[in-house]
């Protein structure tokens, strides 16, 4: 177990294994998102109350899921980095933050655009909306802190601490719709219960959610590899690699 963790923590080992894993996640992401989009946009039936505006759900819900999962992933990577000093974990955390911010922005933007025809307003200081806006600012904070120090190690540690502290916002987002039910509806899509939507609406959503997760994994692997090249550029194996390919 410990040997495995330390092997996983070795940049060279991670660089090699992720090269082999990456194509599978890209292929899965492309297939799932393509099928899910066509199905959700053109084939799923219109909602009897919301008409076709409900098709926003197919980007809104996967983005909102990812926005929160990425923050949890980043916080876990921060713990691994702080406790075991595994550098690859910090590199992964660093590349996750911008994608998490982008997903939070997509969730907020698509929600605002969806709110206009559905609620008659694009924004309200509802608990769910506000806690998602806080999530966006937490992402900005993590990104800014990382760049705010002269030494990379200080930046890494400051960003890790903020990620670990900021993760308390995640359960607040999750339960906000139950604790303060004002505008945003409670979860329409959970792992534990049967969906309240008909199957032909629910299936494309499941494909999109899985597709977004695959996209996140593939992009994180790819960008962590770049980050390894950047930070380990003086290591023997990186220089050999540059020579072989050049």
Partner 1 sequence: MAFDSLQEFLAMGGHAPYVWAAWCMTAALMLGSLIHARVERRSLLRDLKRRERRAMSEMPRKEVNDA
Q: Which stretch binds partner 1 (CB under 8 A): 76-84, 127-135, 190-198, 231-239?
A: 231-239
Total site size for partner 1, rule CB under 8 A: 42
Least Å distance, CB 141 to partner 1, is: 20
Closest CA to 34 of 223, 221, 210, 220: 210
How many CB atoms within 10 Å of residue 67?
A: 25
| Sequence-ordered strand ranges (E) for 62-190 | none
Q: Which stretch binds partner 1 (CB under 8 A): 11-19, 70-78, 110-118, 181-189?
A: 110-118
Q: Which stretch binds partner 1 (CB under 8 A): 9-17, 103-111, 126-134, 174-182?
A: 103-111
Rg over CA atoms, the chain: 20
State the DSSP H helix or E strand holding residue 193, giving kind and residue range, or none if neither: none
In angstroms, rounded to a whole number, what is the distance separating the alpha carbons of residues 65 and 209? Answer: 8
One character per residue 179-218, x = contact with partner 1 (rule: CB under 8 A): ------------------------------------x---
Token code pair at residue 111: 């929600």
Q: Residue 37, CB half-sphere, CA atoms under 13 Å: how many? A: 9
If the CB atoms of residues 37 and 69 are measured against partner 1, the closer one turns out to be 37
Q: Could you write out the DSSP letters of every residue in 62-93?
A: HHHHHHHHHHHHHHHHHHHHHHH--HHHHHHH
One character per residue 59-98, x = contact with partner 1 (rule: CB under 8 A): xx--x----------------------------------x
- Chain residues in the site for partner 1 (CB under 8 A): 37, 41-46, 51-53, 55-56, 59-60, 63, 98-99, 102, 105-106, 109-110, 113-114, 116-117, 215, 219, 222-223, 225-226, 229-230, 233, 238-239, 241-243, 245-246
């Amino acid at each position: 177990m410990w040997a495995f963790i330390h092997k996983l923590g070795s940049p060279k080992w991670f660089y090699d294994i992720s090269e082999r894993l990456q194509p599978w996640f890209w292929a899965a992401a492309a297939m799932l998102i393509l099928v899910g989009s066509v199905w959700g946009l053109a084939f799923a039936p219109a909602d009897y109350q919301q008409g076709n505006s409900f098709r926003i759900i197919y980007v809104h819900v996967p983005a909102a899921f990812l926005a929160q999962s990425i923050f949890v992933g980043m916080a876990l990577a921060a713990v691994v980095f702080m406790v075991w000093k595994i550098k690859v974990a910090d590199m992964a955390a660093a590349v996750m933050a911008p994608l998490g911010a982008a997903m939070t922005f997509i969730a907020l933007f698509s929600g605002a655009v969806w709110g206009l025809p559905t609620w008659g307003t694009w924004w309200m200081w509802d608990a769910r909306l506000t806690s998602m806006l806080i999530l966006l600012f937490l992402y900005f904070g993590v990104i800014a802190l990382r760049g705010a120090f002269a030494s990379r190690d200080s930046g890494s540690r400051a960003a890790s601490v903020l990620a670990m502290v900021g993760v308390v916002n995640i359960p607040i987002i999750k339960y906000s719709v139950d604790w303060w039910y004002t505008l945003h509806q409670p979860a329409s899509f959970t792992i534990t219960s049967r969906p309240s939507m008909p199957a032909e609406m629910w299936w494309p959503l499941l494909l999109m959610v899985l597709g977004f997760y695959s996209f996140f994994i593939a992009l994180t692997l790819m960008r962590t590899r770049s980050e390894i090249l950047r930070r380990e550029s003086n290591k023997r194996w990186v220089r050999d690699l540059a020579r072989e390919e050049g």
